[in-house]
């Protein structure tokens, strides 16, 4: 019998297009408060999902060899519930800066999904939604196996955001041969079959290659930063933050009257308090971008104290700059590059800058395992990372990454300077440090994505407790982290 994994190459470009169009066919933005949806809106989401299934789920889907007859409509409805919820959350939180969902965003999400079904066929949209949910399901079974049937069905271990139970998915996984009962235990438990292991491997490859897992991590990072009300306080625990901003600003070769692009402006610390607006003067302009509406709202509040400043705040990502070619005289940013797709970001900066423009920034590198207190604190990650055979623990670049990318770009930079800098951080404030690492920056996301939801929460709790033990052992002075970073400056060259 044909296997659904045979369809993955054909489905890949469709998934990539959906991600570009911000139609999210699987659970996303699950780590932020925006997902705490009222019962009224849960009912509305369910109604919209049922409408989509009623209109587009046909008997042809049941009879298709890749879709088993027992694929109940309730499974399709559940998949559409997740897709509507995630897409609505994206537009509400990351486009409008709302704290929660409202009726209009739910209708917008439902309409976008319907449009996608008409463009790419309903079958393909349903399949992609099934694949994402199956990936989360199989990952949980593999991690906990043998996994109690009651734990799976409740969703509390791997999909606690779901507003439905997983009975039908449980039946499907067993009937499809992806999991089997464990007979040698007294509890009702399941484990993956060889087929299930193969599917999990293929689904993970597919979701990584199409960019879905990275998109999910990126959106959770944007939302996490936006919800950090104490972001400035947390950043101030980096005791040399001001020094790093000054390093960037002093070397940026800015002149009065320039139009300067600032990337990753956050709450405007470099833009306003750091003095960037003063460098360009009243005849210049700073266009400051950040992907988080929450951050930009705080920047706009600060701007009220700088009435004479020439600043324009824009919601955008560094990978998709909404500006014409050759717009800016210079580009600048502090501690943002390591949170982006560096290759795409450097291409975009090159595109929007004028010939001869300078790009100047500092950014963080991968976590070192050289400081005893930090190695001891993060032991659960480093040890489990070897167990999971994942080569990357954190999502930060290595010391050679940026140089290698610049050397291989078609877009030309010259007079490239890269040299080491140090970010000195006081990690003594355990809760703030953990919040920044795991709830906002998602620094260890390449490792964390290999864990189901509950395992992630358990690990964060473990690391919090270990942090307080480390605090008692090393004291405040012993918990100063010397984190490696790099200064980068390069000039845009265009033929």
Residue-wise DSSP of 144-177? HSSEEHHHHHH-TTT-TT-SS--HHHHHHHHHTT
Domains in the chain: ranges and CATH = 4-226 (no CATH), 231-493 (3.40.50.150)
Which two three-digit tokens encode residue 152?
């799976």
Residue pointed to by tokens 């989509």: 52
Distance CA 114, CA 110 (A): 6
* Burial tier of 464 (Cβ tally within 10 Å: 0-12, 13-18, 19+): middle
Window from 144-153, 237-246, 327-336 with minimum mean pLDDT: 237-246
pLDDT digit string, tens, across residues 200-210? 999 999 999 99
Q: Is it the case that residue 431 has pLDDT exceeding 50?
A: yes
Residue 152 has what pLDDT?
96
Share of the chain above pLDDT 70, in %: 93
pLDDT in tens, 355-389: 999 999 999 999 877 889 999 999 999 887 765 55
Alpha helices in 272-394 (DSSP H): 276-280, 293-303, 342-352, 372-377, 379-387
Is the Cβ–Cβ distance between 130 and 5 less than 8 Å? Answer: no
Q: How confident is the model at residue 185 (pLDDT cuts 50, 70, 90)?
A: low
- Give DSSP secondary structure letters for 425-460: EETTSHHHHHIIIIIIS-TTHHHHTTS-HHHHHHHH
As given in the structure block, the two tokens for residue 251 are: 């070397």
Whether 270 shows a pLDDT value over 70: the answer reads: yes
Which of the two residues, 121 and 226, has the higher pLDDT score? 121
Does the pLDDT value for residue 1 go beyond 50?
no
Which comes out higher in pLDDT, residue 37 or 274?
274
Alpha carbon distance 469, 472 (integer Å): 5
Residues 21-80: tens digit of each pLDDT: 999 998 887 655 445 688 898 999 999 999 999 999 876 665 545 555 545 678 889 999
Residue with more model confidence, 187 or 78: 78
Beta bridge partners of 481: 425
Per-residue pLDDT, 388: 56
Structure confidence at residue 33 (pLDDT): 45
385 close to 448: Cβ distance less than 8 angstroms: no
Q: Quick one: average pLDDT of 239-263?
A: 95
Tally Cβ neighbours within 10 Å of residue 194.
10
Categorize the per-residue pLDDT at 314 as very low, low, confident or very high, splitting at 50, 70 and 90.
Answer: very high
Any idea of the CA torsion for 382, 433, 423, 278, to the nearest 10 degrees?
Answer: 150
pLDDT in tens, 12-28: 999 999 999 999 998 88
* pLDDT tens digits for range 277-291: 999 999 999 999 999
Q: Which helix (H) or strand (E) holds 212?
A: helix 212-227
């Amino acid at each position: 019998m044909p296997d659904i994994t045979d369809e993955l190459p054909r489905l890949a470009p469709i998934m990539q297009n959906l991600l570009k169009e911000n139609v999210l066919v699987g659970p996303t933005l699950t780590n932020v408060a925006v997902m705490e949806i009222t019962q009224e809106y849960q009912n509305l989401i369910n109604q919209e999902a049922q409408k989509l299934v009623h209109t587009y789920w046909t008997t042809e889907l049941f009879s298709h060899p890749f879709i088993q007859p027992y694929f109940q409509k309730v499974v399709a409805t559940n998949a559409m519930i997740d897709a509507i919820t995630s897409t609505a959350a994206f537009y509400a939180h990351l486009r409008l800066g709302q704290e929660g969902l409202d009726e209009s965003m739910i209708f917008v999400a439902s309409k976008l999904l319907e449009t996608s079904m008409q463009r790419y066929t309903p079958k393909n949209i349903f399949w992609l939604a099934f694949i994402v949910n199956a990936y989360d399901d199989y990952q949980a079974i593999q991690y906990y196996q043998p996994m109690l049937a009651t734990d799976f069905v409740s969703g509390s271990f791997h999909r606690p955001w779901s507003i439905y139970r997983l009975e039908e998915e449980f039946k499907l996984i067993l009937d499809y041969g992806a999991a089997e009962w464990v007979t040698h235990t007294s509890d009702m438990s399941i484990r993956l079959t060889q087929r299930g292991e193969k599917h999990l491997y293929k689904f993970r490859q597919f979701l990584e290659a199409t960019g879905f897992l990275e998109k999910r991590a990126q959106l959770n990072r944007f939302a996490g930063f936006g919800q950090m009300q104490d972001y400035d306080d947390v950043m101030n625990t980096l005791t040399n933050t001001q020094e790093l901003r000054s390093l960037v600003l002093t070397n940026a070769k800015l002149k009065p009257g320039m139009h300067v692009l600032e990337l990753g402006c956050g709450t405007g610390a470099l833009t306003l308090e750091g003095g960037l607006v003063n460098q360009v003067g009243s005849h210049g302009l700073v266009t400051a971008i950040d992907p988080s509406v929450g951050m930009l709202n705080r920047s706009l509040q600060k701007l009220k104290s700088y009435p004479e400043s020439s600043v324009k705040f824009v919601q955008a990502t560094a990978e998709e700059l909404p500006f014409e070619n050759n717009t800016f005289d210079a580009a600048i940013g502090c501690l943002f590059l390591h949170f982006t797709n560096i290759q795409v970001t450097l291409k975009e900066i090159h595109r929007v800058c004028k010939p001869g423009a300078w790009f100047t920034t500092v950014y963080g590198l991968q976590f070192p395992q050289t400081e005893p207190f930090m190695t001891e604190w993060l032991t659960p990650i480093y040890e489990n990372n070897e167990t999971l055979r994942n080569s990357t623990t954190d999502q930060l670049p290595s010391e050679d990454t940026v140089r290698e990318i610049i050397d291989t770009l078609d877009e030309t930079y010259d007079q490239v300077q890269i040299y080491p800098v140090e970010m000195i951080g006081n990690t003594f404030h355990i809760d703030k440090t953990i919040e920044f690492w795991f709830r906002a920056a998602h620094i260890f996301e390449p490792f964390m994505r290999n864990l189901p939801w509950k395992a992630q929460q358990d690990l964060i709790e473990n690391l919090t407790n270990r942090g307080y033990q480390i605090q008692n052992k090393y004291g405040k002075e012993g918990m100063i982290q010397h984190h490696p970073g790099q200064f980068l400056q390069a000039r845009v060259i265009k033929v």
